[in-house]
Structure 1
Amino acid sequence: MGAVEHPDMVGGFADFDAGHRDLVTVTKFNFYGNRIVTASSDHRMKVWDLKDGQWQLTDTWRAHDAEIRDATWNGPFTGQHIGSVGEDMKLKIWQEDVTQPPNSGRRFRSIFRMTAPQRHPFVSMDFRNIDLESWMAAITRDGYLMVMEPVSPDSLADWQPVDQFRVCTAPERGEETSFKVQFHHDPADITHSLVPDSDPKSLSLVVAAMDTVKVYRTDASRRFYHAIELNGHASLVRDISWANGSVRGYDLIASAGKDGLVRIFEVYTASTNQGSQSSNSRKTERRQQQQQSPSTRATSQSGIGNALANRPTSSVSNRQATGDSLFRHSFKQVACIDSKHIDVWQVEFSFAGDSLISSGDDGAVRFWKRSLAGEWLEYAETDLVSQ
């Protein structure tokens, strides 16, 4: 492993050897930036803690029986949990057990596991937290997306489907594929500023689906609809990032392409007439739900999950906005950056959304910053190959 920049460091890097036996496939900070999880093709995961300015290994364990494709932290208000997906067809959630000594191989234990449907492994996953509630999204190598929620809000050991569907036509056998999924994590979603009475627990997803990017949002019935497609890519989309900062009046989404280009899109959202017309009915419905007893809500939630799990797989063709959609969406590509990478594999916005980091096949990590004139300019670079 090469240079890692801590979120609080300005122009500084901390170097450490992750000690994996094969390619490092995942490096993810937790919410506070003081923990890192690394995962590798060697089937193992490691957790590192920042102590006295140094990254110290907390534990290493064999997490999957094949290459690990993605891993990410849940949190920060539900305890220390990590989700992971691998080529062994498994999705797992790991919970830290602080009673176990560091570097014992038992510090993180599996509390949930599921097998990918239709014999295509999960390749990307993400968590979303609103207050103390969690949601999880995972997508397979052939574009099958699942969004899940815990059966009980007090535990992440049992999950049920909220929605599941294909984001595109299944690729041909042997065709190179590329799929990624990410929730919108900003607590101030732009839809809430436009229609204050809209569902405060509405969810938004951005998906890299082969050679395009798609945005999905939940409607009034908590069903995902295809809000907009950010097209114009000339090759497979390797990665996507949705910036925080909806107060700017639009959403900012970046994509990383196999063609070496990083594209940045501004996504605009406006309310429709239906938004004001259905406001009172939505408030009445939510008030009725809040008046239900906890046991009634849990039974209803579980019933919905079971129904969704058993219904036929839906496709993107019938995922358009329903008649009571509150919003309409449009977009503009505002930048197309030649990243100088041979193939861009990762792209990520800073917390404020004014900087961007990219990495690719050339072994370099590059940092881009938005100027006052609105241009995205390279301002730093580090070569991981020489580290």
Structure 2
Amino acid sequence: MLQTSLLATGHADLVTHVVYDFYGERLATCSADHKIKVFRQMPDGTWEPEAEWKAHDAPILHLSYAHPIHGPLLASSSHDRTVRIWEELPSPSATGGSVRWAERAVLTGAKGSVRAVEFSPPNPSYGLRVASIATDSHLRVHTSLDPELNDWSLVFDVHVPSLAAPHGEEPPAPSTPGDGPASAEAATGGWGISWCKEKWWGSVIAVFSGTAPTAKIVTLDPFPKAVALLQTPGNTSPLTAIAWAPSCGRSYHLIATGSRDGVVRIWQVQPPGDEEGAPRIWSSEVVAEFPKGARVGMVEWNATGTTLTTSDDEGVIRIYKPTYAKNWKLLGKMTAEEPLGDE
């Protein structure tokens, strides 16, 4: 695996998240310096800065690009307990110039740092939605029916631990010293969300919160309901990352999770069947598990859901891909300093 280049972001503090747009032509970064920066890929493969602005009053934790069907939109979440929606404005002149992003909404109500935010996939049945989860362990989903994006409403606000687990499957969460979101955060718990990418199943999202070693698959309409759990018997390590893969014609879904103990798992999730005799419930099983390493920071799928990229707290990036025998193989790994090649 080859390392092509390094990106000097120019942030004055720790870079907390990096996200590509739908086409992979732009790269947005956020930082503890309260700023967002956007870069555009040039024909020679380098990244040129395109926009920079102070977006929050505290360190920014997460970013999400909307699907281009909704226009050039970016969501950000922060320790300041808000989610902010940004829209790219047209270039001031035909010759270009600095790209500007305008604030379209400030979504409040969180009682803790908003740790993750993600726009929903396009679905004409419910329009534009953005989900977020904060250290108060509340999953909040906002929507806007206003073409100008000035009017947002909270459609769901659910305490994740209070969502009843299907079939009474949920194990007790590991004990945490102290009480409340602050102590849970100090115990290096995690909070994460990832939308189901297929509109056929409606508004479905995977979510985990706090020090729970499990993730829940939640259907939102007509009301939030946990329909499946991603759990491994005997595992008590808090989750730290989650990503729902595009299905691309598969009859099942793949979800990747990472945990504090460094384990990455790939789950095969089977939705209810329509044919006679098919199960009427969601089911899940682990189809791959990668050895323990440093705490997992990120898991991300490619556009077809066939390659998984992970990162950890030691700064190592790994790429996995299934073989024809459906065994997952490590293609290679690298660090920010140098490529490390195959294992």
Using the size of structure 2 for normalisation, the TM-score is 0.83
CA distance in 1, matches of 2:219, 2:85: 25
What residue in structure 2 maps to residue 160 of structure 1? 153
Structure 1 residues 329 and 141: CA distance shift in structure 2, 3 A: same
**What is the deviation of 1:30?**
0.5
Conservation of the 8 A alpha-carbon contact between 1:238 and 1:256: yes
**What is the deviation of 1:130?**
2.2
What are the superposed Cα offsets for residues 154-174 of structure 1, whole Å, 9 maximum, x if unpaired? 232221122211111598231
What residue in structure 2 maps to residue 257 of structure 1? 259
**Is residue 2:37 matched to residue 1:35?**
no
**Is residue 2:244 matched to residue 1:242?**
yes
CA distance in 2, matches of 1:123, 1:151: 25
What residue in structure 1 maps to residue 165 of structure 2? none
CA distance in 2, matches of 1:178, 1:103: 40
Structure 2 unaligned runs (5+)?
163-172
Counterpart secondary structure, 2:104 = strand
Conservation of the 8 A alpha-carbon contact between 1:86 and 1:122: yes
- One-letter code aligned to 2:23: Y
**What is the deviation of 1:149?**
1.2
Q: Choose the corresponding residue for 1:95, options 67, 81, 87.
A: 87
**Is residue 2:98 matched to residue 1:145?**
no
**What is the deviation of 1:49?**
0.8
**What is the deviation of 1:273?**
9.4
- One-letter code aligned to 2:303: F
Of 95-104 and 345-354, the range deviating more from structure 2 = 95-104
Conservation of the 8 A alpha-carbon contact between 1:148 and 1:163: yes
What are the superposed Cα offsets for residues 128-151 of structure 1, whole Å, 9 maximum, x if unpaired? 132562111111112101112114
Counterpart secondary structure, 1:130 = coil
CA-based RMSD: 2.6
CA distance in 2, matches of 1:20, 1:373: 44
Q: Choose the corresponding residue for 1:68, options 25, 47, 60.
A: 60
Counterpart secondary structure, 1:136 = strand
**Is residue 2:122 matched to residue 1:113?**
no
Structure 1 residues 157 and 49: CA distance shift in structure 2, 3 A: same
**Is residue 2:316 matched to residue 1:364?**
yes
Q: Choose the corresponding residue for 2:286, options 316, 322, 333.
A: 333
CA distance in 2, matches of 1:327, 1:165: 24
CA distance in 2, matches of 1:333, 1:207: 17
- Within 5 Å, give how 1:1-387 maps onto structure 2: 11=2, 13-52=4-43, 53-100=45-92, 107-117=100-110, 119-130=111-122, 133-152=127-146, 154-168=147-161, 172-173=179-180, 174-175=183-184, 176=187, 177-187=189-199, 189=200, 191=201, 202-209=202-209, 210-219=212-221, 222-232=222-232, 233-245=235-247, 247-271=249-273, 327-338=280-291, 340=293, 342-385=294-337
Counterpart secondary structure, 2:249 = helix
Structure 1 residues 245 and 273: CA distance shift in structure 2, 3 A: closer
Structure of greater relative contact order (alpha carbons < 8 Å, 6+ residues apart): 1
**What is the deviation of 1:335?**
1.2
**What is the deviation of 1:272?**
7.0
CA distance in 2, matches of 1:269, 1:23: 40
Using the size of structure 1 for normalisation, the TM-score is 0.74
Of 138-147 and 377-386, the range deviating more from structure 2 = 377-386
Counterpart secondary structure, 1:270 = coil
Counterpart secondary structure, 1:168 = helix
- One-letter code aligned to 1:35: R
Structure 1 unaligned runs (5+)?
1-9, 192-201, 277-325
Conservation of the 8 A alpha-carbon contact between 1:252 and 1:267: yes
CA distance in 1, matches of 2:21, 2:277: 36
What residue in structure 1 maps to residue 166 of structure 2? none
- One-letter code aligned to 2:204: S
Q: Select the structure of larger CA radius of gyration.
A: 1
Structure 1 residues 244 and 224: CA distance shift in structure 2, 3 A: same
**What is the deviation of 1:379?**
1.0
Structure 1 residues 143 and 246: CA distance shift in structure 2, 3 A: farther
Conservation of the 8 A alpha-carbon contact between 1:364 and 1:385: no
Name the structure with the higher helix share: 1
What residue in structure 2 maps to residue 303 of structure 1? none
CA distance in 2, matches of 1:95, 1:275: 48
* Matched pairs, number: 311
Conservation of the 8 A alpha-carbon contact between 1:95 and 1:110: yes
Conservation of the 8 A alpha-carbon contact between 2:65 and 2:75: yes
